[in-house]
Amino acid sequence: MSSIFSRLISALSINRRLRSGCILLLCVVLVVIFAGAIAPYDPYKLGDDLMVRPGVGNHFLGTTAMGQDVFSMIIYGSRTSLSIGIVSALISGVIGTLIGAAAGYFRGKFDIVISEIINIFLMIPTFFLILIIVALFGSSMLNVMLVIGLTSWPSNARMMRVQALSIKERTFVKSAVAMGESGWRILFKYIIPNGIFPVVANTTMGVASAILTEASLSFLGLGDPNVVSWGQMIFDGKQYITSAWWISTFAGLAIMFIVIIFYMIGDGLNEALNPKLRRIR
């Protein structure tokens, strides 16, 4: 297992995009942790200054129609976005890896069923499925995480399945079988550690798309109303877009910023860990 880390470390030292992505992510994480210290106001507090322009008074990025400080909302909103993104991508990564690896390694009927399910998921418009589920079961943060995670695993599973199919033919798996190693152990000890890198890269990209999905849900008014989220800010700000452009715009920029970070990391990981791409570079 330690070599997975050493590979990640060496990937960091080679790939510039990955490195800068990680540094930026670290900054974002610091912001998330110290949100209370950085944000000048309580984002939930309705202030007296309504729709203040950016830079006026102590409001760095202005205020909303309700008098909330936009800068503080964006700082606190990073918590929502990041946690929803990471948790749902993790759910999808873990489920995808396990199901995909098992399908690819054990083959048989299980594989046929899984492959069909993956195909179905890839065909139906997932976003509408999410919409329906959130509309039915409520839009708490936990629900949103679960729904996004449970609908996005098929792409990871498909990737892992292909990996498992090829690793299965490698000599070290055959020699493990010849040694008498059990099927499950081969799956967890040989197949997954050696094939997980593209899934890691894909999951990182998945964080970005989960953040976007959450933003879209909030934009449609299906976000968790009890937390500050960037999508919701855009939703709230859209009716004032002509008079107070800053409410939606800065939230939108924040989403763009974090999505780009995760794409940089995901792309960098893909390039650094995928042997095929690495050779070209």
Partner 1 sequence: MTELTTLLEVKNLKKWYPCRRKNRLFSPGKEWVKAVDGIDLTVNSGEVVGIIGESGCGKSTLARMLIGLEQPTTGEIRYNGRLSTDLIRDDKKGFHRIAQTVFQNPFDTFTPNDRIGSLLMRPLKMHNIGSDSAERRELCLSALEEGGLIPAADFLNRYPHELSGGQLQRISILRSLLLNPAFMVVDEPISMLDVSVRADILAMLLVLCRQKGTGIMFISHDISVIRYVSDRVAVMYLGRIVETGRTDDIILHPRHPYTEALLSNCSTIDPDDQTEVIRIEGEPPSPVGTGPGCFFAERCPKASAHCWRAYPSVTKAGESHEVSCFIYQREQR
Which residues sit at the interface with partner 1, rule CB under 8 A?
1-4, 170-172, 174-181, 189-190, 193-194
Cα distances (Å, whole numbers) of residue 70 to 154, 217, 226: 37, 20, 17
Of residues 7 and 45, the one with the C-beta less far from partner 1 = 7
Cα→Cα distances 40→21, 86, 201, 273, Å: 27, 26, 36, 41
How many CB atoms within 10 Å of residue 152? 25
Q: How far is CA 139 from CA 84, 144, 168, 221, 228, in A?
A: 12, 6, 42, 9, 13
CB of 181 to partner 1, least distance (A): 7
| Lookup: tokens for 274 | 């995928």
The answer to whether 153 touches 96, Cβ cutoff 8 Å, is: yes
Q: Which residues pair with 69 in a beta bridge?
A: 63
Cβ at position 77, least distance to partner 1 in Å: 39
- In this complex, which beta carbon is closest to partner 1, that of residue 20 or of residue 194? 194
Question: Of the two residues 57 and 193, which places its CB atom closer to partner 1 in the complex?
Answer: 193
Provide, rounded to whole angstroms, the least separation between the CB of residue 170 and partner 1: 6
**Residue pointed to by tokens 């083959």:** 107
Q: How far is the CB of 192 from partner 1 (least distance, A)?
A: 11
Q: How far is the CB of 274 from partner 1 (least distance, A)?
A: 15
CB of 136 or CB of 179, closer to partner 1: 179
Q: What is the CA radius of gyration of the chain?
A: 22
Please say which residue, 119 or 182, places its beta carbon nearer to partner 1. Answer: 182
**Which residue type sits at 255?**
I
